[in-house]
Every structure is written in C-alpha cells, then in structure tokens.
A and B are shown apart, each in its own frame.
Chain A
Amino acid sequence: MLIKLLNTLLMVVVALSITGVINRTRAVLAGRRGTRFLQHIYNVRLLLRKGAVYSTTTTILFRIAPCVYLGAALMAFLFIPIANLEPLFSFHGDIILVAYLLAFSRFALILAAMDTGSSFEGMGAAREALYGALVEPALMMGLATLALFCGDSSFAEIFSQGQVVNINFTVVLLLVAYIFVMIMFIEGGRVPVDDPKTHLELTMIHEVMCLDYSGVDLAMIQIAGWLKNSIFAVIAANAVSAVFCFHWEFAAPLAILGAGLSVGIVESLRARNKLSRNTTYILTISALSALVLLVGFLLIQDINI
C-alpha cells in the first residue's frame, strides 16, 4: 500500500513539475529571466478562485465536459507505475483501458468545443479529432512493443520485472521512448504539431478548443493536460530506464527532466509545422512505431535477416 501511495505521490510530483521545467528551459534558451518554477501552479490556483462566463449557445454538456476531461485523465493517470513501483490500480489489460480513457477525454473536449458554435473552436475540434485518430495506432503499437518485451498487457506487470533487459533491445526501447515523447507532443499540443503560444487562433489546435472556458473549467483542463503529459513522460522514462537502471529513483527524475527538456528545447529551436504537413508527420510516427514493433519482434524471436 505504501508503495502504491509513493507511486501516486511521485506521479503527482512529475505531473506538477514538467510544465515548470518546460518554462524554465524556454526562458534560459531564450535568454530571459523567466517565471518562477511553480508559476503555472499559481496561475491555476488563481483560475480556481475565479467565476465563469458561459456562452448562451452552449448546453449543459459544455459544463460537464471539463469534469469528464479531467476525470478520464485522472483515472488513466492512476494506472501508471514509475519503474518498479506499483500503481494504485492495475488489472490485466489495463493498457487498453488507459488508451481508451485518453480517447474519452478527447471526445469530451471535442464535443464541448463544437457546442459553442464557434468556427474557430470547430476548427480546433476537427483537427484534434483527426490527429487523435491518426496517433491512436502509434500509441497502441508502442504499448504492444512493451507487451512483446515484458510478456503481459498491464502496466504494472510490464514494468514489474524489475530488471534491466537484454542489451540487444537497447535501440528498440530507446525508440519506444522516442515514440512516447512524440505522442506527448501531439496529445499535449506541443510545438512541431501545435503551438500553445501562437498569436493566431486560425492556426491553433488544442488552445483554440478551450477559448470559451474560464475560471474553474479552464483550470480543470490545464490540470488534465499536466496529467496527460506525465502519463506519456513516465512511460517513456520507464522504457529508457529499462535499458539502464530500472529503479524509480532514476525513472522519476528522468521523466521530469527528459520530457521537460525535450519539449523546452524543441519549442525554442524549431517552428511549428505547416498545418497541412501535420498528418504526414503523425503518420510517420505511426509508421516508425510499426517498424519498431517489427524489429522488436525479430529480436525477440531471434530471427536474423
């Protein structure tokens, strides 16, 4: 039980600090002094104390959607172990549940965005629906690769082996980590695919979907975003630490620093894709994950070609 609590606590720490690392990295690379490390938490606390303005076009669905969005992300979050720790919930086949809970959160936000009747939010919703559909195979194949190595289909079982895997699998596991970081970029609305800081609503994806949210609702959506980021960051960090040192003391800081630094650096160094190139970009990641799975399969079966 204590291990489960430790795991949940660590997950919360990871979720809260990734955004801080991203902001600090961006500030340092841009030569700014930047905000405090915990500024994003203060911002959300501020939002939690505010009232709200709801559009007259919307129905009750618009008010429930943030709760579903956060609730689904929270449930998924509780299934993720850090390295060899035990997660709060776990059962055989939970990796599929996590993927579908994340799909549910996306579903809720798409409907909420369409509920406002705004053309901008419709734009965001349509793009999110398409990108979400295309990234799903990448996510599933990444999970299938992990299942292939560890012989099970629940997160706790996969990562409970508590040992460093065969050195032959290094490249495959590193690529799996890369795929999960990429999925984090896409699901979290980060730079090569989406730009949270863009000044133009026409080119936004995730941010434009929450244009009509304010106060508590917006805070819920932001918290859910942190949770989702941490899910992918921790899976990626677990894959990496399965190569080097499979222990939570290694995996937890790696999740924070790895995810935070990669997002921060990518956002500082490169511009976002042209929107029309995004589908190709995402399909490339899916193709890569199919390739990784195939290579992993060949390695496991000891087939030489």
Chain B
Amino acid sequence: MYLYSLLAAIIIALVIFLVPKRYKVWAATGVVSLVALAAMAVAVMAFMGETVELVKFTTPFFGEESLAVDKLSALMLVIISVASVATVLYSRGYVEGYLKRFSEAHISMHYTALVTLVVSMMLVVMSSGGFSFLFAWELMTIASFMLILFEADRQEVRRAALNYLVMMHIGFLFLVVGFVMLFNVAGSANFSAINDYYEHANLLPLFVVLFIGFGMKAGLFPMHIWLPEAHPAAPSHVSAIMSGVMIKTGVYGIIRIMQVENLEGDMLFTIGLIVLVSGAVTGLWGVIFAAMQNDVKRLLAYSSIENIGVILIGLGIAAVGHAAGSPLVGMCGMCGALLHMVNHSLFKTMLFFSAGNIYSKMHTTAMNQMGGLAKHMPITAIMMLFATVAICALPPLNGFVSELLIYIGMFNGVSSGYEVLYSVTGIIVLSLIGGIVVLAFTKLYSVVFLGSPRSHHVAECTEVDNLRIAAMCIPAAFILMIGLAPQYIILPIADVAEQVTNSVNTIAVKHFAPTLSALSYVSIAFVVVVVLLYVIKRSAQRNRVVSEGPTWGCGFTAVNTRMQYTGESFSEGLENIGKPLMKNTVDGRAVDKDEIFPMPHRYRIRHNDKIDSLLGRWWVQMMHRINEYVMRLRTGKVNNYITFALLFFVVVLILTLCGVL
C-alpha cells in the first residue's frame, strides 16, 4: 500500500516537474480535480449508504488498519474537495506574478506540495487511525511547511515556517503518545478501539493527550500562536487552504475521539466541559485579537482561531447536552458545529482569496496603507463584502445558519433546564464573539475598501484576472446555497451528527426542518424587502435633484485623507479593554499632547499576543542557550574530536564493567 502511494506520488511529482513552467498549474489542477472528483464520488456513496471500505492493510507498528469512508469522513472529503479545487484554480493568477522571480524547480516544488497537501488531507480523514493516520498527518505537516516556504527569500517567512514545523511536531509527539497509549490497552490503534479502551481504562488521560495533539493543528488556545505567524507568511491560496481546511483536520480528530459508544454520564460531561471551556477561551481570545490587528492576513488568521472556538463551543454543548440527557440539545450543538465547519471552510477561503487579490496588487498586507480600493477593484470588493457578511453570521448567508443551530441548542438547554449554567456561559461567549466579529470585520472591510486612499499605491491597483474571480465564485455559490436553502443542507449534516453522537436524528429533522424552512423564507423575504426599498428609493428620487459633492467636513475645509479613521483608531476602544491580554511593540513615537507645532512622526504599533512570548519564544531561547554550550565543544581540531570518541568508548567500557549496560 505504501509502495503504491509512493509510486503515485513520484508519478505526480514527475508530471508536475516535467511540464513547462507556465503549464505546471494546469497539471496540478488536473490532478487535484481528478482526486476531488473521486473523493466526491466516494463521499456520495458513503452518504447514500453505509461505510465504504477502500483498502485493508497491516502496518508495521499498530497492526491491522484500513482506509474507510464513513459519513463524517465523507463530510470532510466534501469540504476538502471544494476548497482544494478553488485553491488550485486561484493559484494560477497568484503564482503568475512570481514566475519570473523563481526557478522552475521552485514552482514545481510548490505545486507538488500543494497536490500532496490535498491528497494527505484526504488520507487523514479516511484513515482508520494508528500508523497510517500518523503517516498522513506527518505528510500533511511537511507539505504545508513546504507551501509556507514559497517566498523563502524573506526572513520572516523562514522564521514562521520553522516555528510552524516545530509546533506541529510537538503536537505530533502528543498524538504518537496518545496512539501508543491506546494500542497498549486496546491492542489496536484505530479510532474505533477507543470503545475498548473506555471499557478497560480511564478515558480522560487519553482524551487530554490526543486533544492537545489535535488542538495544536486546530489552533486552540494557547497553542494558536503559529497561526497568526504562518498565514501572513504563506501565499494567499495556501493560507486559504490551510485556514479553511487543514486546521479542520484537527477538529475532525477531536470529533473522532469524542465519538465513543456508550459514553455517557460524568465522563461525557467532563469531556464536554473541557471542549466547551477551551472553545470559549479560544473564541474570545481569537476575536479580541482579530479586532486589534492592522494586517489583513493576521486579522484573518485570528478570525480562524475564533471560528475554531465557535465550532468547539458547539461540540462542547453537544456533549454536555447528551450527558445531561437531552438528545435535542446534543443534536443542535453537533449539527451547528459540523455546519460551521463547512461554512468556515467556504467563507475563509473566499476571504483569503480576497486578501490575495489585494496583496498581489498592493504588495503589502498593512491595512493602513490602503483605503478606497473598492473603486479600483470593484469585483473583489463585492466578493469580500459577501464573505464578510457571511463570516459575521448575519442573516441571509450561511454563517448565521450554523450559529443559529448552536444558539437553539443552548436556548433549549436554558428553557428546558438541562445544564443551564453551561448553556448560559455559551450564550454569553457566543454573543460577545458575534458582537466583536462585527467590529473586526467592519474594520477590515472599511479600512481596506472604503473611504479615500491612504497611499498613492492604491491608484495603481486594477482588478485581478477572471480565473481568480471564478475561483472565488465556487465558495460563494455554496455560501448562497446554504444561506438561502438551509433546510436541504441540514439533512446530510444531521446524518453525520447522528453517526457521531450515536443517537437517532428524527428529533433533529423534526425539530430543525420547520425552523430552517421558515428561516429560508424569511431570508428570501429579507433580500426582497431590501431590493424593494432600493427600487422605491430610486423612484422617489427620480424627479428630485440628486447631486454629488465632497464629504461634509463639519465646517472644516482643509480635510486630507490622513485624517480618516485608521484601523488602529477604529479598534482603540476595544484596545483599552483588552490591554492586559497583549504586549504592544511600538516603533517610533506618537505626537505628544503638548506639541503645538508637531513635526512629522513615524509611529507603528503592533499588538502581540502575551501567550506568544510566554509560550512560543521560550523554546527558541532555550535552544539558543543549549546551542551555545554545544558550540564550545565544536573546536574544529581533529585531535579534540578523537578525544571525544575516546571518552565515549571509555564511558561505555566503564558502564559495561559496572553492569549497567
């Protein structure tokens, strides 16, 4: 099996390496589309009937394993296929700007890694666990590491990529430990062996270890720090697929380890509580930092962290609800979480594509250099507005549907008296997240696209090529579909939730179907009302004088574009509240209050995570220190090295004589 996959990988790599530079993207597109089609076919089969088993094989360490697609895997396969096809289509326009700068091998590497990432993600969600899972997981990490390194000539890119690699391997270590624990007790390292494990041993240590391992990939607090570093460094289409899909494989893992038969009562409750609390903290932390950022891609990265938090809140509510004996709350939470996974993969890819459009024209992601881009890139502006409305969870689009399901679960918890305090905590956190998300994304959108230009580069921007727009239309179509017809989308999602929670979905269908079809009518009515109001307004203005003039400056006539609200000033109020969470690095000096005739000032502020310095930097410093000691041994003289070898043998000899070895 490994031999065949190795052969396939070599053939794909050969194809991509052999094709001329300009056409490599089409080779990659062909491969990805074929793989996506096959995955979709398998997914449809899994949705139609029972689990589809593809191959069975024996692995060197953990015994019998298989590649199989059940409904949860099928959902993940759909998410991966849609996003990867959009990504590879988008990459043509984005990479074209680099064709002159980079060598042929470099471009080939990039596309090979992209295809490998897509395939390895699919393997991750199909694998039954154990060795093949870890193999695919590691392949995924390495492929994404290569992808982040695209612009390897920039120092910050190299640093971010290395940071990512190290963090991922810490997570990998936890996974290995978890699977070994599982194998020791249950005799198999497949996910389904967790059932046996639960019968023989305490589930909690295994859960925590695997939860940390998967949480590292998903970007859970406090393991989220790689995300805001890696995304600005990676090219936009890579950020899109990493943020939209790859971090979901972490959530997928968490769902898998929560999916234990006969799990109920206190243990399920504890697990639910762990998930709920970490989701709440991750969500709030992510959204507050998202609102503080002044860099387009850093903002989007933090918003991914926030969305993972929302998904985990849904999962946590589901587990807590089941533990308390309310399958309805459980189904609501689970369906909400699963649908939010789908939704986030759609609007986040779209947002990162928009960020890519901006970056490829502006050559920067600093928000405060932009402004008024909507006039120069109108289609990107419309697309981004669409995705922004969706991610803010505002009614006619898809983000609202999933948050509505989670809210319904929690409100049901409140009104029927099941675990009221946890539901209330969820409601408070989710509503606060909902409020601050609006702040963060109105800031992002308005500072980038609205107002007047803050630098002269804006005037040189033009709309991007049609293929990139087409690639953005793929997720947009799904967003619209889920937003306007949620009652059909919920059926397969409820099937998946049924499989995951081991309960019957008739409650869900009976309960959601009227709500969601009502929601669909209301959403359509809302759109119609807005259009009607616009038509009425236009007709009311028909015979009136409609003129244009400068923005009203409140009597002040020497207005210039530097006086506009910037990203920094927009979120100043929130900054005052969130001060204890962050460490600001200030570059330059602000204008003093008593400077009557201020000279030009240079001022840059960056809001860094306190966790970043707390958690992310210590190992770098430790490595430096250890390296300093080790470097003393490296004298460069051959006789010293021979002494070391001699010392080694002496030590071995002594140890053997003492009977230690």
The contact string, 1 if C-beta is below 8 Å from chain B, for chain A 116-133, is: 111110110111011011
Q: How far does the Cβ of A210 sit from chain B's closest Cβ, in whole Å? A: 11
The reply to whether A141 and B427 form a contact with Cβ atoms under 8 Å apart is yes
Neighbouring A residues of B385 by C-beta, 8 Å: 61
The reply to whether A107 and B389 form a contact with Cβ atoms under 8 Å apart is yes
Chain A, Cβ-Cβ closest to B436: A133
The reply to whether B432 and A107 form a contact with Cβ atoms under 8 Å apart is no
The reply to whether A97 and B522 form a contact with Cβ atoms under 8 Å apart is yes
Chain A, Cβ-Cβ closest to B551: A55
The reply to whether B431 and A126 form a contact with Cβ atoms under 8 Å apart is no
Q: How far is the CA of A233 from the CA of B583 in the complex (A)?
A: 43
Tally A residues with Cβ within 8 Å of B.
83
Contacting chain A: which of B83-91, B158-166, B457-465, B534-542?
B534-542
Chain A, Cβ-Cβ closest to B450: A115
The reply to whether B435 and A107 form a contact with Cβ atoms under 8 Å apart is no
Contacting chain A: which of B38-46, B199-207, B337-345, B439-447?
B439-447
The reply to whether B424 and A111 form a contact with Cβ atoms under 8 Å apart is no
With A107-B394, A126-B569, A137-B431 known to touch, is A132 a contact of B522 (CB < 8 Å)? Answer: no
CB interface residues, B 413-447, toward A, < 8 Å: 414-417, 420-421, 424, 427-428, 430-432, 434-436, 438-439, 442-443, 445-447
The reply to whether B537 and A116 form a contact with Cβ atoms under 8 Å apart is no
Q: How far does the Cβ of A165 sit from chain B's closest Cβ, in whole Å? A: 14
The reply to whether A212 and B417 form a contact with Cβ atoms under 8 Å apart is no
Cβ of A136 under 8 Å from chain B: yes
Neighbouring B residues of A153 by C-beta, 8 Å: 407-408, 411-412, 415
Residue from A101, A116, A123, A127 in contact with B451 in the complex, judged by beta carbons closer than 8 Å: A116
Chain B, Cβ-Cβ closest to A48: B540
Cβ of B655 under 8 Å from chain A: no
Most chain-B CB neighbours within 10 Å: which of A55, A74, A140?
A140
Q: How far does the Cβ of B552 sit from chain A's closest Cβ, in whole Å? A: 5
The reply to whether A148 and B372 form a contact with Cβ atoms under 8 Å apart is no
Neighbouring B residues of A70 by C-beta, 8 Å: 533
Cβ of A72 under 8 Å from chain B: yes
Cβ of B564 under 8 Å from chain A: yes
The reply to whether A136 and B431 form a contact with Cβ atoms under 8 Å apart is yes
Residue from B400, B403, B537, B551 in contact with A66 in the complex, judged by beta carbons closer than 8 Å: B537
Q: How far is the CA of A147 from the CA of B410 in the complex (A)?
A: 11
Contacting chain A: which of B95-103, B571-579, B609-617?
B571-579
Tally B residues with Cβ within 8 Å of A.
82
CB interface residues, B 53-101, toward A, < 8 Å: none
Neighbouring A residues of B553 by C-beta, 8 Å: 118, 120
The contact string, 1 if C-beta is below 8 Å from chain B, for chain A 55-77, is: 11111010110111011101100
Q: How far is the CA of A107 from the CA of B534 in the complex (A)?
A: 18
Q: How far is the CA of A123 from the CA of B452 in the complex (A)?
A: 16
Cβ of B371 under 8 Å from chain A: yes
The reply to whether B417 and A301 form a contact with Cβ atoms under 8 Å apart is yes
Contacting chain A: which of B25-33, B354-362, B513-521, B619-627?
B513-521
With A55-B552, A110-B442 known to touch, is A118 a contact of B522 (CB < 8 Å)? Answer: no
Neighbouring B residues of A182 by C-beta, 8 Å: none
The reply to whether A119 and B414 form a contact with Cβ atoms under 8 Å apart is no
The reply to whether B407 and A212 form a contact with Cβ atoms under 8 Å apart is no
Cβ of B186 under 8 Å from chain A: no
Q: How far does the Cβ of B406 sit from chain A's closest Cβ, in whole Å? A: 9
Most chain-A CB neighbours within 10 Å: which of B392, B414, B424, B443?
B414
Contacting chain A: which of B111-119, B318-326, B524-532, B634-642?
B524-532
Neighbouring A residues of B414 by C-beta, 8 Å: 144, 147-148
Contacting chain B: which of A7-15, A173-181, A185-193, A215-223?
A215-223
Q: How far is the CA of A125 from the CA of B451 in the complex (A)?
A: 13
The reply to whether A61 and B374 form a contact with Cβ atoms under 8 Å apart is yes
Residue from A134, A144, A220, A279 in contact with B411 in the complex, judged by beta carbons closer than 8 Å: A144
Q: How far is the CA of A264 from the CA of B437 in the complex (A)?
A: 33
Chain A, Cβ-Cβ closest to B566: A122
The reply to whether B442 and A51 form a contact with Cβ atoms under 8 Å apart is no
Q: How far is the CA of A220 from the CA of B554 in the complex (A)?
A: 22
The reply to whether A93 and B541 form a contact with Cβ atoms under 8 Å apart is no
With A148-B415, A293-B424 known to touch, is A118 a contact of B570 (CB < 8 Å)? Answer: no
The reply to whether B439 and A117 form a contact with Cβ atoms under 8 Å apart is no
With A95-B411, A134-B435, A144-B414 known to touch, is A53 a contact of B549 (CB < 8 Å)? Answer: yes
Which B residues fall within an 8 A CB radius of A?
Answer: 371-372, 374-375, 381, 385, 389, 392-395, 400, 403-404, 407-408, 411-412, 414-417, 420-421, 424, 427-428, 430-432, 434-436, 438-439, 442-443, 445-447, 450-452, 511, 514-515, 518-519, 522, 525-526, 529-530, 533-534, 537, 540-541, 544-554, 559, 561, 563-565, 569-574, 576-577
Which 6 pairs from chain A and chain B are nearest by CB? A122-B565, A133-B435, A114-B446, A51-B544, A91-B518, A136-B435
Add 14 more A-B contacts to A55-B550, A137-B427 (CB < 8 A).
A48-B540, A55-B548, A56-B551, A63-B537, A93-B408, A93-B411, A96-B407, A97-B400, A97-B522, A110-B442, A114-B565, A118-B551, A144-B414, A144-B424
